[in-house]
Structure formats: structure tokens, C-alpha cells
Structure 1
């Protein structure tokens, strides 16, 4: 944001809202879209590999079972009505994964 303020010649002491700066330069806020795209890309990368991160996401570690409800904080917004197994199958094919993302 500071880059656009500097390009527009807006001083730091001027009371100009961020929305006004974005309107002046003709940009939109895209941080949420960027975060989702990077999250999907990382998840596809992890689901195609055989690694410890994938094992922990799938919950296949041996030992004492954790108490309480299982948490899917990172995966919740990415499932989009599909199951985790369907998402794993889609991630195996890079072209299909990219079209879904």
C-alpha cells in the first residue's frame, strides 16, 4: 500500500483511506485470493508426495489417540463439498488439480 501512496504523492500525514488509494490507482484487494491460491498449491504439492506432513494431515500416526474433535482448520475452506479422499485423488493429476484451483 505504501508503494501506491508514494506513487500518487500522498504524504503520510494526509488522511487518505486505503480504499481511496486503491481507487486512484485502479487496483482491488486480492490478498484473500492470493492466500487461497498459495494454500491450494501447497496442499497439492503435499498430497502428491509421500512425506511426514501428508501422514500427519491424514492422521495416520501411531500412538495415543488425540482427545476431542478432529480439527481441519486449514482444509475446511478447500474441500468445497468433496471428501478428503476425493481431494487426494484429484491432487495426483497435476493438470486436473490446476483446473480445480
Structure 2
């Protein structure tokens, strides 16, 4: 992005200023939006194998280190911050227009 708008090495500009100049959203927000759109895609009213990735509970023992922040745990934390449950999200995902407003609206966890 810096080379596109001709900002080279001697000029120092922060990433937030770069986002303001290019009128783009920060990468973290875009990644969350894409993740939530993918979740909505997997909860469509049809059977698909990717749905198992959201609800999978692997068995076995974990290493003695700090527990990893898996995608499922990270998503559950974002769901809790949006004051929703998995069941409510499944129902919302069935209606595409409502899901799009959820992912792009003010109740979106990344906004």
C-alpha cells in the first residue's frame, strides 16, 4: 500500500495514518469481518463438512503449556461480547439479510 501511494523508506508514517489516507479499514477489522462472513456461510441451511470445524471438540490430552486460543474459543469469546449464543447465531445465519446486518452493523464484535 505504501508503494502504491508513493511513500518510500525515508518517510515514516504510521499504519493508522496510512489507513486514513487510503480510506481503508484496519486489517484486524477486515479479518474479523471475513471470519464472521465465513461462519455465516457455514451455518447456511444445508449440510457441509466445514460446519464440523466450528463445533468440533477434539479428544485427548493437551500439553502442559498454557491452553491455546483456538478459533472456537476466540469465536466464543466474541459471541459472548456480542451478547449472543451459538443457537441464536444459527438462527440469525439462516436469514442472509439479517446476517449481513449483524456482520456489518454496530453489534458486530469487531466494530
Structure 2-normalised TM-score? 0.61
Considering fraction of residues, name the structure with more helix. 1
Compute the displacement of 1:24 (Å).
8.2
Q: Name the structure 1 match of 2:41.
A: 45
Compute the displacement of 1:54 (Å).
0.6
Q: Name the structure 2 match of 1:99.
A: 101
Compute the displacement of 1:31 (Å).
1.5
Give the ranges of 4+ consecutive aligned residues of structure 1 lying more than 2 Å apart after TM superposition: 17-30, 64-69, 71-74
Compute the displacement of 1:25 (Å).
3.1
Residue correspondences, number:
92
Distance 1:93 1:36 in 2: 20
Which stretch of structure 1 is more off in the superposition, 16-25 or 88-97?
Answer: 16-25
Ranked by relative contact order (alpha carbons within 8 Å, sequence separation 6 or more), the top structure is: 2
The verdict on how the C-alpha distance between 1:18 and 1:29 changes in structure 2, with shifts beyond 3 A counting, is: farther
